[in-house]
Chain A
């Protein structure tokens, strides 16, 4: 197999138990690892002892406050290495699926280390199963890493300066670090690489590690393009299915017409007779075909005759699903007969994640080891699954986390990686396994379908009480995060992981009296997953559409109402900004209207203003403005990209795209019928205004979906004069 990580992830030296003061409940360790050059690893304590390293008591720092800030007590480490070529090589234990984490991490390290950004090689860490959890989700990467990464870089810089002082014969306090080198007042300088070995032996730095003053930043906060942009625009960027061409054999899986239907029997005679077919393998999810090319594999797949048993939802269609979800709604406590009650009932279909890269992975399972390449957001879970399937100990599995072609929550699951390993083990050859688009629509995961009932009790010109009941198909969270949180004793709410997430994310920051949000989940056997912004994508949009209806019922302007009744100043600020930038309150032709919505989550807040023109054959979002307060911004360009993407998600889900279920099968098969927005449906411009509130970094990746969705719903309702109730609106016309 050709692809390998450029450098071994684990340095070699004798392990020693970490020592040092325990400050609070947890500790944070930064330690120098021996080996060529200088490598520093940061690790949250609480996992097994860091292997192959020399912990330094002086390097033990208290980060309990940072852990408090993180959404989960993630235990993960990251690595910074100065190479002999004076490159700064960093590994982040996250997936890169377009959110820009590799660029943001490089910026933070370069800033704190005083390295040139162009000198940083930012890579993804392979799975390391001794981490309790290695997971990309919940928009928490920057929240989690912001301080620890800077601390490790600062420690590294201190060591380098100490070694340079020795080499140059100049007191450390007189030296300046700049451009990946240490400079003396007399003009002499040494590169970091030149003193790396000496720096690794430093036991007591000459100067205490101090975080750089944020006022001196030249990289963090500066608009920066993706570091891998050139690879992407030249076609060199390699995704899972691009790996191992020529060695790993193209493989596809024949899957059933209905969801989760078992194979009763099959006849592969014709398929096996086709030139170029190498193997036909029955695996738990279907019949895998391995061939010399994907063209042959796809044709051979179609030539297999299968007698399928009934699927898990045979006989179930949309109507039955809606019926079940409505029956599971928790009854409202606001009586409809008393006072002035405003009620809204909303319904969302299942929605595919539909990343442009279908589920794909490369795997090479041998007798005593296995190697897998996948864009896994939960790679430890995949490594464990592969180990079990291959009959190997988990430490015999090397799990490379490779660049992913979009995720939106889908790549929390790595079914393709497991399937590839199953086939590779069975046939004794490396394989490249790829789902075709029909598979990815019909057998992949979905945002759970949901119905919502909201009641607001009005009196004296205001809201006295607000209730939101959401009933949805159960969201599957068995990808590793749920277990990790439970293992850490943080499942605070009875009813499991979904309830924990629900109760920690649902809030309504308006002066509307007592608020209750209740969730009921029903297992309906259509595979689900968190979908960008999890429950809030639907529930947050619903709240914001109700706020518009409440404002209307009270005779108030939607923006004025928000500015008056929002209890969160960060939310008020972003609403004010979009109203100002978007020209709220102007005169528009009939059939054209603006809508505004706001949401806070991930220690951040975002508002959108969108303008919709409903006069043509299809509603068109003609204008969009976003304002967001995500606290400290690492990369304004990357953050804006996320918020622009969330707008397209919002308008697609609210207006255009949804899945249908017919007799236990998903109807949609590709982008022709899953009508995700294209260029002609997107606004000409989508300006994003980032507001500096002085808060620490929040999460931007998922933040925008609820507000963007709510704003689209509100604009559509104002343009058509009809309430937005069932989605996508182009299909249901609102009702």
Chain B
């Protein structure tokens, strides 16, 4: 059989300035390049993980101007002039973000691969809804897959962070 493939070419590279984890940078890339690959392969920022590439698993979740977004389906040009925060930029120096600390206190992680995305999603969610109930947690956190099945501990950690640790 012969498969039908479409050659997916990219546009001409252009300079795209944005802020990454508090630092002003610019990259030269075709504008539609998924930000995930700019972060991982060009900038060496490997906290955001590749899990699906199509926005259904949440492993690459990071923040754009404080809102959770999936880096694998975010064109790099769309963050021009914006603030991008990855898991590497969530803590304030050595001081962990309350959500990171809650993740440690509840011993959430097993393999840990999905957790940067879970934490970034949870941090943005709590910024929006500082005292969520279970239904709100279900709604907000179901975009992220944890194959190890740490959901009960993720929920506990979110509640702990919401309660101020």
Contacts and interface: CB of A to CB of B under 8 A. Distances in A.
A700 to B, nearest CB: 12
B115 to A, nearest CB: 5
Interface of B: 1-3, 5-10, 33-34, 37-38, 40-42, 44, 46-54, 56-57, 59, 86-88, 90-91, 96, 100, 103-105, 107, 109-116, 119, 134, 137-139, 141-155
Nearest to B139: A680
Contacts of B116: 232-233, 235
Given A225-B104, A294-B37, A670-B57, A299 B8 contact: yes
Given A303-B5, A406-B111, A671-B56, A678 B145 contact: yes
Contact of B52 (A298, A671, A685): A671
Interface in A282-296: 292-295
Interface string A223-265: 1011011111111111101100110001000000100000000
A293 B40 CA distance: 9
A141 B87 CA distance: 32
B76 to A, nearest CB: 10
B8 A302 contact: yes
Interface string A608-640: 000000000000000000000000000001100
Nearest to B46: A242
Interface string A394-418: 0000000001111110000000000
21 contacts: A99-B110, A228-B112, A230-B104, A235-B46, A235-B47, A241-B50, A245-B40, A245-B41, A257-B3, A293-B42, A295-B37, A306-B3, A356-B49, A356-B59, A357-B111, A358-B51, A405-B111, A637-B107, A645-B110, A671-B51, A680-B139
A63 interface: no
A253 to B, nearest CB: 14
A153 B94 CA distance: 34
A649 B151 CA distance: 12
A357 B113 contact: yes
A647 interface: yes
A679 B112 contact: no
A434 interface: yes
Contacts of B1: 257, 307-308, 310
Interface of B is mostly: loop
Nearest to B88: A235
A677 interface: yes
Contacts of B44: 245-246
Contacts of B10: 299
Contacts of B5: 302-305
A641 interface: yes
Nearest to A238: B46
Contacts of A304: 5
B145 A671 contact: yes
Nearest to A642: B110
Contacts of B115: 232-233
A75 interface: no
Given A233-B115, A294-B50, A308-B2, 10 more contacts: A229-B103, A230-B96, A233-B100, A234-B90, A234-B100, A246-B44, A355-B111, A678-B141, A678-B151, A679-B141
Contacts of B41: 245, 250, 292-295
Nearest to B107: A225
A98 B149 contact: no
A302 B7 contact: yes
B149 A677 contact: yes
A213 to B, nearest CB: 28
Contacts of A685: 152
A98 to B, nearest CB: 3
Interface string A423-464: 000000000001011000000000000000000000000000
A421 B138 CA distance: 42
A684 interface: yes
A270 interface: yes
A226 B37 contact: no
B153 to A, nearest CB: 7
B112 to A, nearest CB: 4
Nearest to A357: B113
B155 A679 contact: yes
A303 B6 CA distance: 6
- What are the 7 tightest A-B residue pairs by CB atom distance, in nearest-first order? A235-B47, A648-B149, A405-B113, A98-B111, A98-B110, A235-B87, A232-B112
B147 A437 contact: no
Contacts of B37: 293-295
Interface string A668-679: 001110001111
B139 A233 contact: no
A100 interface: yes
Contact of A644 (B48, B100, B147, B152): B152
A406 B148 contact: yes
B40 A98 contact: no
Contact of A437 (B38, B42, B53): B53
A274 interface: yes
Contact of A307 (B2, B56, B145): B2
Contact of A355 (B52, B86, B104, B147): B147
Contacts of B33: 293, 295
A233 B53 contact: no
B109 A233 contact: yes
Contacts of A144: none
B57 A644 contact: no
Contacts of B144: 678-679
Contacts of A677: 149, 151
A387 interface: no
Contacts of A226: 107, 109
A273 to B, nearest CB: 9
Contact of B91 (A223, A234, A307, A645): A234
A670 B145 CA distance: 11
B150 A356 contact: no
A434 B50 contact: yes
A684 B156 CA distance: 9
A542 B109 CA distance: 31
B53 A682 contact: no
A648 B155 CA distance: 14
Nearest to A441: B52
Nearest to A650: B149
A305 B91 CA distance: 46
Interface string A507-538: 00000000000000000000000000000000
A681 B149 CA distance: 11
Contacts of A434: 50
Contacts of A231: 112
Interface string A644-676: 111111000000000000000000001110001
Contact of B153 (A403, A641, A681): A641
Contact of B152 (A637, A646, A684): A684
A356 B144 CA distance: 11
Given A241-B50, A303-B5, A406-B147, A680 B111 contact: no
B141 A670 contact: no
